[in-house]
Amino acid sequence: MSSAPFFIVGSERSGTTLLMAILGNHSRLAVPEVAWYYPRFRAYLHTFGNLAERGNFRTLVAEMIFHLKTPFFGLPLDPATIVEELVAETVAPTFAEAYRVILERYAKEVSKPRWGEKTPHNLFYVREILEDFPDAKILHVARDGRDIAVEQLRSAFGPRNVYAAARIWRRTQEEAARLRKELPKGAWLDVRYEELVSRPEPLLREVVRFLGEEYEPALLDFYQGTIARRRAETRDHRPLGQPITPEFVGIYRRYLSLDEQEIFAGVAGKALREEKYDVDIPGRELSPEDAAGYLDHDSRIRAATLDAPEGHIVYESVNDWLIDQREERRRRGVWQESDIPPQNPRWERILDWDEEFLSGQRAPRRWKEYFAVKRRYTGDALVL
């Protein structure tokens, strides 16, 4: 049996959470809630200073374990001792080691020998993942971008209009297309959402074979698992509380107007066709002024609705706190501008486009400040 870690990536609302819940129901596979470790930390390791210095490495481990979106992955860990326990288990002061011991702790707590992790935006860090874990397996969930747009527009997070949704989806498809060509054979598998929900068993047999595991019928009982039942308590993930269903395939025909479908096709029609999705409506290209207006509207609404019901204000507040800590370390001289890694084609692809969004932010900081959105670090709502 393989022990290689695996990573589930793709556009948000593409079905990555569904695959996370399914594989987490395998007797050997531990798949916790999203970690956001690569987007939140990997691009900013220089802000922790020299990790060979124990204090700097301890700070990294502490921020990683204490600022999970789901605290401690829902495990009964001791906050007073967990950081020192994790540091003691590492064999080198590196991000990869911190990542490994945290995920292995989760796997140990749930009595499983192998771990995987799902963070959609890890798609933009696959090259870094393979640097840190050379034997890692990448599962990319692909789905019709128009159905994704519907899910995003109806959810408590993500883009607030179809132009912004189409722009994001196109960029994720471009990144996935590059990775398919670049990665070594056996490191990447596309998992098509439409196939997963229409013929789940044959596809899941292919998935577990790719991972080097045996198929188990319990995979299809995922909706009875802890994570699925917990997620099903929220409006955005209610379908996880039931067996797999194909009822959400093609929902764009019902929920997107013809005008919105034209806009999506104008932005991402080429990517839709390359992914073998039918495009039966001609695309409409927006003027630069209209496009800018859509993006401005998207940013404003994201910020203004952070503290709405089932909004992500706690999650976003922690993200902002982490940014503040980077700046505080810079003021203390832990790092300086010259420590920022030199630009190269890989990093440019990560940092040149909506850096805040790729790093896990739900809204641009300048609009949160403009609307004076008050941070909130605790709440009684379910935190995912």
Mean pLDDT of 309-317: 89
pLDDT, position 346: 63
**pLDDT tens per residue, range 259-284:** 999 999 999 999 999 999 999 999 99
Per-chain mean pLDDT for the chain: 93
Please answer whether residues 4 and 133 qualify as being in contact, where contact means their C-beta atoms are separated by less than 8 angstroms: yes
Neighbours of 96 (CB within 10 A): 15
Gap between the Cα atoms of 75 and 102, Å rounded = 11
Q: Give backbone dihedrals phi and psi of 10, rounded to 5 degrees, phi first.
A: 150, -175
What is the pLDDT confidence band of residue 345, given thresholds at 50, 70 and 90? low
% of the chain beyond a pLDDT of 90: 83
Could you please report the per-residue DSSP string of 236-259? GGGGGGS---STTTTTHHHHS-HH
pLDDT, position 357: 81
**pLDDT tens per residue, range 127-169:** 999 999 999 999 999 999 999 999 999 988 889 999 999 999 9
pLDDT, position 68: 92
| Domains identified in the chain and CATH numbers | 6-370 (3.40.50.300)
**pLDDT tens per residue, range 71-117:** 899 999 999 999 999 999 999 999 999 999 999 999 999 999 999 99
Q: Is 77 exposed, middle or buried (0-12, 13-18, 19+ CB in 10 A)?
A: middle
% of the chain beyond a pLDDT of 70: 96
Residue 201 has pLDDT above 60, yes or no: yes
Gap between the Cα atoms of 171 and 188, Å rounded = 18
Listed range (87-96, 104-113, 177-186, 194-203) with the worst mean pLDDT:
177-186
pLDDT, position 383: 53
Residue 384 has pLDDT above 60, yes or no: no
* Residue 366 tokens, joined: 């300048």
Identify the residue whose tokens are 């959400």: 248
**pLDDT tens per residue, range 221-264:** 999 998 899 888 888 889 999 999 999 999 999 999 999 999 99
Gap between the Cα atoms of 38 and 243, Å rounded = 31
pLDDT, position 349: 62
Q: Which residue, among 9, 264, 262, 7, has the nearest Cα to 141 in the 3D structure? A: 9
Q: Give backbone dihedrals phi and psi of 192, rounded to 5 degrees, phi first.
A: -80, 125
Residue 380 has pLDDT above 90, yes or no: no
Please answer whether residues 144 and 22 qualify as being in contact, where contact means their C-beta atoms are separated by less than 8 angstroms: no
The set of residues, in sequence order, having a beta carbon less than 8 Å from that of 338 and lying 6+ positions away, is none
Gap between the Cα atoms of 292 and 299, Å rounded = 11
Q: Which residue, among 335, 47, 299, 318, has the nearest Cα to 168 in the 3D structure? A: 299
What is the pLDDT confidence band of residue 311, given thresholds at 50, 70 and 90? confident
Terminal alpha carbon distance of the chain: 31
pLDDT, position 140: 98
Q: Give backbone dihedrals phi and psi of 227, rounded to 5 degrees, phi first.
A: -65, -45
Residue 382 has pLDDT above 60, yes or no: no
pTM to 2 decimal places: 0.95
pLDDT, position 326: 96
What is the pLDDT confidence band of residue 359, given thresholds at 50, 70 and 90? confident
pLDDT, position 284: 96
